[in-house]
Structure 1
Amino acid sequence: MNILLSLQHINAAIQNQKILDNISLEINQGHHWAIIGKSGSGKSVLLKAMIGKQGISGGSISYHFKSSDDLINTGEPLALQRMALIESRHHFKNFSNTSDFYYQQRYNSSDSEDAMTVEQYLSAILAHVTEEHYWTLEKAVDRLRLTDLYQKQLIKLSNGETKRLRIAAALVKNPTLLLLDQPLTGLDVNSRLYFSILLQEIADSGVTVIMATSPNEIPDIIKTVAVLEDGKLTQTLTPAQVAEHNFAWASSTPDVDEAEIESLLSLTEYPTFDWIIKMNNVNVRYGDIQVLHNINWQVKQGERWALLGPNGAGKSTLLSLAYGDNPQAYANDIILFDKKRGTGESIWDIKRKCGFVSPELYQFFPMDNSCAQVIESGFYDTLGLFRQSEPSRAAIVLRWMKVFNIEKYARQLLKNVPASAQRLCLLARALVKNPTLLILDEPCQGMDDQQQQLFKHLVDIICSKSNITLIYVTHYAHEIPNAVDHYIHLQKGEVARVETI
């Protein structure tokens, strides 16, 4: 076998904290790897180190890609041209390439015009040009099912659609080595099944795959699984051995301090409303595209809902109406917290009553605050803390961080902590003010099994000890809290069915 990449005793640190410890690996062409481990074990950092996006403090990395004349001169080192990495956060820019997207841009038609379309984005990617060029633009678009999205602006893509686009963009580069960080997050059930088939085609085309994933989601092409624990490579297993293995970090039941949660919930009195949400024949359209069609949905206080549907069904747009972010609410018959939209209430009046987290919020949240500051910003509904920290609220923040087992990150910048800890900070930010309405859009993305169990248990405790209203979105049935007893299913922008259990 041809060696593509070899790591010899590498170490890596972030802010003087060791993340990778004496890692040695040899990647051969056609031998596909999965990397598993609890959140914070170093999986993402290892992938970044492989492609040169994370500096190493010891050891060495050797690339063995063959020199070739078929590469376009991009100014990048040969190794980077031969590799592609899909990270947990994307790095899309405005069409003008002068500034980053911002969170609410997708809902404002004039602002979103500054975003590239899927076609423009993919066409701008420099690809290898060879007679054996397998992953053409047309083939990548077809295989990732992007044809119907070709003229859609990047900012308006759903979380799952964005993931498919980024995989297509990586394939258009025709890499020799493809690195995937949690590639299944954000994909609906059918997309996850299809992805396994797609991976086989990727492998057959000569691309070698290394992916960080859950031990429960190891595709058929994987030959060897590397297990990371606290930055160390502790063992290598076959997929069959992984299936029989009980990892302590994947199976143990987390402890939750119910008395502390009850104490935190008692800090706020819940106001009383007849209707949290009442939508009558709601429609949302962008140009010729109908995103929501005649939506009727009523949510009473204290109800716990699951909002379900495939990627692109309209779930995020529906939530944007409930959370006050979408200006098309004013053109529709929508009541939020007993007040009709457009009768004088401000967006901030709505947000004050809501706790909210979503994959899009995660993508666009500023990363330069400390974790404690990020959570404290939830009191003010701002994307980051832009005022002096208030001691009494900072104390509440620290209590919530202890509930989530992330208090050790309090003073660290959000950008320097593991992706799972980043997501837990945003979840704590949504809860810190004890909102009347809690909107959780795919909240468990990037968490290991233990963190998912902890959060699900936490939500059930909060629901049992308060009159909070819950809307929960997920593509995984096992993540839905036990407290949920109402279901609304969207399909192509319409209500397919509503169920009460």
Structure 2
Amino acid sequence: MNDNLISLKDVRVQDLHGTKIESLDWQMQAGEAWLVIGPNGGGKADFLQALAGEKQFINNKTNKVEDTIFEKSAETVSLERAALLIQEERDLDESEYIDKIDEGRSGRRFICEVLGGPDAKHRHLPLPPIASRLETLPEVKLCGVEKILDRGLKFMSTGEIRRTLLCRALLSGKKLLILSDPFAGLDAQSRSILLEFFQTMVGRQNGGGLNGTSIIMAMERYHEIPQTITNVLEFTDKKISFCGTKAEYEKIVEQRNIQKNANRKSEKEAFLSELSEAQNALSQQNAVSRQNAVSAEQSLVYMNQVNVGWDGHEVLKDFSWEVLPGEHWFIRGPNGSGKTTLLELITGDNKQVFCNDVWLFGQKRGTGESIWDIKKNLGIVSYRLHVEYRMLGGTELENVIISGFHDSIGLYEKKTDMEIAAAKKWLKLAGFEGREHESFGNLSYGEQRAILIIRAAVKSPKIMILDEPCHGLDEQYRQKILDLLETVANSGTTTLLHVTHDPTEVLEAEKHILELCPGEKPMYKIIVKE
């Protein structure tokens, strides 16, 4: 008989701000591989944070804290953790003091922090002896990070950072490893590495485990679920809505999909009607669509023989590209191929734009234009923007949406009645009606991403830059956002530049494909679909 690792009965989840989940019962036995799933804001994140020790399980009868065997010995690998890591690197950046680019911590130094090495604040101290042989460790090979150990964390792609986090967590010796939405933003190779990792680790669990490590996987939607998952725990409306075997859950998912497909047409029509109402209100406010009219001859983006890199590492080489109004682009390529770097040349977040031949909206970068001249024509959804807004945290949702009109992180100008009305319409559109004064920092990661997408769309910009926009979105939000983006693409006023690794998220309107091919010459391909 399997032994219980965790046994929770009639407990609530709470933190300093109050109760998050009123009551739950759950058991986890040795050898089980659990998937925790549920819609954004449904309670899944609260439960996982309690398992990780960030919130508490309180017995409803005794009002005492319920400890688990994982108390203070859990590690989470998630989009949120990756965002915090990037924030740490920014806080530690000393570039302005040392008169050169501060490369920050390398993957090797970061991993060694759990192997007896110095912490982040003492990152200039020598590394422990094990640092020189990290490449030989099975955990490093399992996570596929051998080739990026000496790269700075700030120069890694999102997928590379999360694989590095995974390796560090595995070497930390913690008893519980929580993988939250682990496949989001990963290329095919990284997905394969992660699936192999999960298969191997679950096999070790069943054979007694590696250093006693147990794994729980959390997902926003039932997609790409490893075969080794044995049980599913689903949260909806801050309650457990399913707890049982994977086979039982798949029958429920199948029934839900039949019902969803039957309702899909009417739901989409209702959503598009609401979207049209929101867009009409915006048009009456400031006639942005007329202001954004661009002649067909004028390039929105023009890059000629662009080269970007650092420390001998070439990210973009002899790269030339042109984007015309109405050409919606799907941008693809493996993790680390330069997709985010390319977009940052447009947004102004990469300073190497000034030493290259880059034109935006008919003007060469570095010829007197301000960053605000550029951003007034852009709507941006990116990992970097999400990190910036998470650092503010306490901004009300209404103000987040209105900040899209002013291209600011946070709102520093007096909002008009028209802006408030528009924000409320767009919040209703995204399913946040009545929540306009709620704090951005209190939302789940997926809910935050949905808000940022609405923020980008609100002013009908000339270009919408979408870097993995559906990260962290559950199925309901994801479908709404894809419908929204398709409608924006067909509006004739906004051109989309869309990065995603998920082929199901490519829009019908995206007829132009830019594929980055690192190591090849040329390092990119342009494909136009008929």
CA RMSD for the aligned pairs? Answer: 2.8
2:163: which partner in 1? 164
Percent identical across equivalent pairs? 29
Q: Which has the higher contact order (CA 8 A, sep 6+)?
A: 1
Partner of 1:271: 293
Separation in structure 1 between the aligned mates of residue 397 and residue 100 of structure 2, nearest angstrom = 30
Given the superposition, is the C-alpha separation of residues 448 and 380 from structure 1 closer, same or farther in structure 2, using an over 3 Å criterion? Answer: same
Structure 2 stretches lacking a partner, 5+ long? 118-133
Residue correspondence of structure 1 range 313-324 to structure 2 within 5 A: 313-324=337-348
Contact 2:464 2:497 in 1 (8 A): yes
Which of 105, 118, 123 aligns to 2:107? It is 118
Q: Distance in 2 between matches of 1:18 and 1:396?
A: 33
Could you tell me the TM-score, scaled by structure 1's length? Answer: 0.88
Q: 1:451 aligns with which of 438, 462, 477?
A: 477
SS in 2 for 1:247: helix
Q: Deviations over 1:168-194 (max 9, x none)?
A: 111011222211211111211222232
State the alpha-carbon separation in 2 of the partners of residues 178 and 162 from structure 1.
Answer: 16
Q: Alpha-carbon deviation of 1:389? A: 3.1
How many Å separate the matches in 1 of 2:469 and 2:415?
Answer: 26
Shift of 1:14: 7.1
Deviation larger for 307-316 or 463-472: 463-472
Match of 2:77? 86
Give 1:226 deviation, angstroms: 1.2
Residue in structure 1 matched with residue 34 of structure 2 by the alignment: 33
Residue 137 of structure 1 deviates from its aligned partner by: 8.0
Deviation at 1:239, TM superposition (A): 2.4
1:42-95: CA deviation from partner (whole Å, max 9, x where unpaired): 111110011220234654664554xxxxxxxxxxxx7213x2122331222778
2:447 pairs with 1:421: yes
The residue number in structure 2 matching 1:140 is 139
Is structure 2 residue 259 aligned with structure 1 residue 259? no
CA drift of 1:112 comes to: 5.2
CA contact (8 A) 1:94 1:115 kept: no
CA distance in 2, matches of 1:233, 1:190: 34
Residue 72 of structure 1 corresponds to which residue in structure 2?
none
Residue 392 and residue 416 in structure 1: after superposition, are their counterparts in 2 closer, same or farther (change >3 A)?
same
Distance 1:22 1:292 in 2: 53
**Structure 2: distance between partners of 1:240 and 1:93:** 38
Number of the residue aligned with 1:21: 22
Matches within 5 A, 1:75-474: 79-81=71-73, 83-90=74-81, 91-92=84-85, 100=91, 113=102, 115-126=104-115, 138-205=137-204, 206=209, 207-213=213-219, 214-244=221-251, 245=253, 246-247=255-256, 253=264, 254=267, 255-256=270-271, 257-264=274-281, 266=283, 267-268=287-288, 269=290, 270-273=292-295, 274-365=298-389, 366-474=392-500
C-alpha spacing 1:220/1:370, structure 2 compared with 1 (3 Å):
same
Contact kept, 8 Å, 1:154 with 1:162, in 2: the verdict is yes
Please say which of residues 278-287 and 6-15 is displaced more in the overlay. 6-15
Between Structure 1 and Structure 2, the one with more helix by share is 2
Quick one: distance in 2 between partners of 1:136 and 1:496?
A: 30
Give the deviation of 1:203 after TM superposition.
2.2
How many residue pairs end up in the alignment?
478
Q: Is the 8 A contact 2:114 2:171 kept in 1?
A: yes
Q: What is the CA-CA distance between 1:319 and the residue it aligns to?
A: 0.3
Secondary structure of 2:56's aligned partner: coil
Distance 1:395 1:204, change over 3 A: same
- Name the SS of the counterpart of 1:376 in structure 2: helix
Cα displacement (A) at 1:275: 0.3
Letter of the aligned partner of 1:400 in structure 2?
A: W
- One-letter amino acid matched to 1:397: A
SS, match of residue 53 in structure 1: coil
Is the contact made by 1:307 and 1:488 (CA closer than 8 Å) also made in structure 2?
yes
Cα distance in 2, alignment partners of residues 360 and 48 from structure 1 = 24
- Structure 1 match to 2:517: 491
CA distance in 2, matches of 1:405, 1:473: 24
Amino acid at match of 1:324: G
**1:46 paired residue number:** 47
Q: Which residue of 2 aligns with 1:132?
A: none
- Aligned-residue offset at 1:387: 3.2
Cα distance in 2 for residues equivalent to 1:429 and 1:144: 35
Q: 1:383 Cα deviation (Å)? A: 1.5
Instruction: Provide TM-score, normalisation by structure 2.
Output: 0.83
Closer, same or farther: CA 351–94 of 1 in aligned 2, 3 Å: closer
Q: Write the distance in 1 (CA, Å) between the matches of 2:92 and 2:399.
A: 22
Distance 1:4 1:57, change over 3 A: closer
User: Which amino acid in 2 is paired with 1:139?
Assistant: P
Is the Cα contact below 8 Å between 1:6 and 1:63 reproduced in 2? no
- 3-state SS of 1:420 partner: helix
- Counterpart of 1:11? 12
On the 8 A contact 1:4/1:63 being kept in 2, the answer is: no
| Contact 2:37–2:232, Cα closer than 8 Å, also in 1 | yes
Answer whether contact 1:118 1:149 (CA < 8 A) is retained.
Answer: yes
Counterpart amino acid of 2:171?
Answer: V
Q: Report if aligned partners of 1:5, 1:63 keep a CA contact under 8 Å in 2.
A: no
Q: Distance in 2 between matches of 1:119 and 1:323?
A: 30
Structure 1 residue 351, shift from structure 2 partner: 0.8
Q: Is 2:338–2:516's contact at 8 Å kept on the other side of the alignment?
A: yes
Which deviates the most, 307-316 or 403-412? 403-412
- 1:345/1:109 Cα in 2 relative to 1: closer, same or farther (>3 Å)? farther
Contact 1:196-1:220 at 8 Å conserved across structures: no
Counterparts of 1:163 and 1:110 in 2: how far apart (Å)? 30
Cα 1:379–1:330, aligned 2, differ >3 Å: closer, same or farther? same
User: Could you tell me how far apart the structure 1 residues matched to 2:223 and 2:17 are?
Assistant: 32
Q: Which residue identity is paired with 2:85?
A: F
- Contact 2:5–2:29 (8 Å) recurs in 1: yes
Equivalent residue letter for 2:152: Q
Report the 3-state secondary structure (helix = DSSP H, G, I; strand = E; otherwise coil) of the residue aligned with 2:367. Answer: coil
Deviation at 1:457, TM superposition (A): 0.9
Match of 2:123 in 1: none
Contact 1:215 1:242 in 2 (8 A): no
SS in 2 for 1:79: coil
